[in-house]
């Protein structure tokens, strides 16, 4: 019988990404079934309870407290894992005896860096809006990495920020590059004349990386959060970002990437682009062709948006030779939500019926009602677990099951590298495929979102995938088109 053990650190906060990395390290120990270090917000209480990680001690935690949750095969293993978690938490304090002072509040940080102009907010969602409001009232722009901020709170915060002349990126903004500085999950790209605005993190990463691969550069890549273009918010941050790029002398073209907004918001955004005085490219993922102002080009894939930003064209690469098969089913296992959405759009545009949700266990159901494209970074699959960009083992069970199938034509997947991502996702995927694929198994088709300047190195990641017999397409869009060919639909 599994043993659950909790400890609560009162008034103790660490960034969620740091906590996820610690959780991954603890969960990998022998006999540990699951581990999570999470702030004690109501949402996290629910997540940990659903994951079987919460006991009576953990239930006592408040929003500003940290819960350490361990589920192990026996009590001794649970105690050892908890001791390791505590050691990881205490290690910075042990090493910090001669270290420089680190401020504990925004006020103290501004006292040390009075010239700062941006605050990156990464606290539990219950507190994120309040911290961002402190920042904008002190004259800072704010990037909110945190999620679980209500839509009403986001709209009110952004309206106040607009009145103060301050930009709010987010909530749930995972990617930005400001004046060459990557923030959160971002990549190493050169400076250049292309300014970008993205309501999605991996979409922004894909376009910035393709631009870099083509020899171009980025002035700024401004994330605005996935809900900014909803009617309740009205595109406040998107409109401010357009104005900022229009006024920026280093920006010559503007690229906007988002899911299709409502008609009124779309009209407002396109009108603002029309008056920006610069050529613009819009990729509303999955939108039909729309009337565009004279200076705005509509694109229908992230790759096309990157090429249009540099005013270049190229023939799509021909699919490589693939094993002969009568199978026609496709399965997508993605870490990036926008990359998954792009694959869905490409497959649907080719006339395929595509499903986009399923339980993690049992994804191999042969019900014949369409191809399945899964965003395994969605909250449904990461409750109580790290995001697959941070911990690729989140995809292991689904991959192992899919590789053993004999009815699939191809498995489509992404490898996302850069700051914040796992240090070797391609190596992990290559090992998994080598271990589980059989001779009659499906073709595995991947793309690598990243650059050679990233810590993991794109070329090295591609080489590891090739060595495992994985086909690597130049972009996510190309990978989806190769999958169509594998299924006999390309």
pLDDT, one tens digit per residue, over 348-378 is 999 999 987 665 545 544 445 568 999 988 8
- The answer to whether residues 253 and 282 touch, using CB atoms and an 8 Å cutoff, is no
Q: What is the CATH number of the domain that holds 386?
A: 3.40.50.261
What is the SS3 assignment for 197? Answer: strand
Residues 6+ apart with CB under 8 A from 171: 125, 128, 129, 144, 146, 147, 148, 149, 154, 225, 227
pTM (2 d.p.):
0.88
Whether residues 109 and 50 share a domain: the answer is no
Total structural domains within the chain: 4
pLDDT at 447: 98
Q: Is residue 322 assigned to a domain?
A: no
| CATH number of 45's domain | 3.30.70
Of the residues 42, 73, 98, which one is the last residue of a structural domain? 98
Which ranges of the chain have pLDDT less than 70?
17, 92-101, 357-370, 382-385, 490
- Residue 255 and residue 221 share a domain: yes
Query: Do the domain assignments include residue 185?
Result: yes
Judge if 156 and 220 occupy the same domain: no
Domain termination site, one of 79, 98, 117: 98
- What residues contact 382, with CB distance under 8 A and at least 6 apart? 376, 388, 394
Residue 94: what pLDDT? 44
Dist CA 256 CA 238 (whole Å): 9
> Domain for residue 190, yes or no?
yes
* pLDDT tens-digit series, residues 284-340: 999 999 999 999 999 999 999 999 999 998 888 998 888 778 888 999 999 999 999
In a domain, 476, yes or no: yes
Count other C-beta atoms under 10 Å from residue 204's C-beta: 30
Question: Do 334 and 476 share a domain, yes or no?
Answer: yes
Q: 142 pairs with which residues across the strands?
A: 119, 168
What are the DSSP calls for 140-183, one per residue?
A: -EEEE------HHHHHHHHHHHHHHT--EE-SS--EEEETTEEE
* Helices (runs of H) and strands (runs of E) counted in the chain: 17, 19
Write down the residue that tokens 């503007």 correspond to.
254
pLDDT (0 to 100) of residue 43? 79
- pLDDT at residue number 312: 94
Report the distance separating Cα 182 and Cα 187, nearest Å: 6
Domain annotation covers residue 378: yes
108 and 74 fall within a common domain:
no
One domain for residues 240 and 284: yes
Q: Domain for residue 149, yes or no?
A: yes
Judgement on whether residues 356 and 433 belong to the same structural domain of the protein? yes
Backbone angles phi, psi at 411, to 5 degrees: -110, 125
Using DSSP's 3-state secondary structure scheme, residue 70 falls into strand
* Contact criterion met (CB below 8 Å) for 444 and 471: yes
| Domain assignment of residue 393, yes or no | yes
Residue 354 structure tokens: 């595509």
- Is 337 in the same domain as 293? no
- Structural domain that includes position 238: 175-314
Q: Is there a single domain that holds both residue 270 and residue 413?
A: no
Q: Which residues contact 321 (CB under 8 A, 6 or more apart)?
A: none
Contact between residue 472 and residue 320 where contact means Cβ atoms under 8 Å apart: no
Q: Distances in Å between the alpha carbon of 360 and those of 342, 383, 434?
A: 21, 12, 21
Residue where one domain finishes, among candidates 73, 98, 123? 98
Q: What is the domain-level CATH number for residue 112?
A: 3.40.50.720
């Amino acid at each position: 019988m599994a043993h659950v053990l909790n400890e609560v650190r009162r008034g103790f906060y660490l960034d969620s990404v740091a906590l996820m990395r610690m959780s991954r390290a603890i969960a990998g120990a022998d006999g540990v079934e699951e581990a999570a270090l999470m702030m004690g917000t109501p949402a996290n209480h629910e997540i940990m309870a659903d994951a079987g990680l919460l006991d009576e001690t953990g239930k006592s935690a408040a929003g500003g407290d940290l819960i350490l949750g361990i589920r192990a095969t026996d009590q001794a293993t649970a105690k050892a894992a908890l001791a390791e978690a505590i050691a990881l938490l205490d290690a910075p304090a042990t090493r910090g005896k001669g270290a420089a002072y680190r401020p504990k509040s925004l006020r103290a940080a501004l006292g040390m860096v009075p010239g700062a102009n941006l605050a990156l907010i990464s606290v539990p969602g219950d507190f994120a809006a309040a911290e961002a409001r402190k920042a904008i009232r002190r004259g800072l722009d704010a990037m909110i990495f945190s999620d679980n901020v209500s839509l009403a709170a986001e709209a009110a915060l952004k309206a106040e920020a607009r009145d103060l002349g301050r930009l709010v990126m987010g909530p749930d903004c995972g990617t930005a590059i400001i004046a060459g500085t990557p923030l959160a999950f971002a990549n190493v790209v050169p400076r250049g004349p292309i300014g970008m605005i993205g309501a999605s993190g991996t979409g922004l990463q894909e376009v910035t990386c393709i631009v870099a691969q083509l020899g171009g550069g980025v002035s700024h890549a401004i994330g605005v959060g996935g809900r900014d273009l909803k009617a309740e918010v009205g595109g406040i941050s998107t409109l401010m970002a357009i104005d900022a790029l229009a006024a920026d002398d280093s920006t010559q073209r503007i690229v906007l990437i988002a899911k299709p907004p409502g008609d009124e918001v779309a009209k407002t955004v396109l009108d603002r682009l029309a008056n920006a005085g610069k050529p613009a490219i819009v990729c509303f993922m999955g939108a039909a062709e729309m009337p565009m102002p004279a200076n705005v080009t509509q694109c229908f894939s992230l790759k096309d948006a990157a090429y249009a930003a540099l005013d270049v064209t190229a023939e799509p690469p021909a699919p490589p030779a693939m094993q002969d098969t009568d199978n026609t089913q496709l399965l997508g296992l993605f870490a990036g939500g926008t990359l998954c959405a792009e694959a869905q759009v490409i497959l649907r545009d080719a006339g395929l019926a595509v499903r986009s949700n399923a339980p993690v266990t049992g994804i191999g159901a042969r019900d014949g009602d369409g191809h399945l494209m899964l965003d395994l970074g969605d909250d449904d699959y990461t409750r109580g677990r790290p995001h697959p960009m941070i911990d690729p083992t989140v995809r292991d069970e689904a991959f192992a099951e899919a590789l053993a199938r004999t009815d699939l034509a191809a498995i489509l997947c992404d490898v996302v590298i850069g700051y914040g991502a796992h240090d070797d996702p391609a190596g992990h995927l290559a090992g998994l495929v080598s271990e589980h694929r059989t001779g009659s198994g499906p073709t595995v088709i991947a793309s690598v979102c990243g650059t050679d300047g990233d810590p993991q190195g794109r070329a090295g990641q591609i080489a590891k995938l090739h060595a495992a017999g994985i086909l690597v397409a130049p972009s996510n869009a190309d990978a989806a088109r190769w999958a169509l060919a594998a299924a006999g639909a390309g």
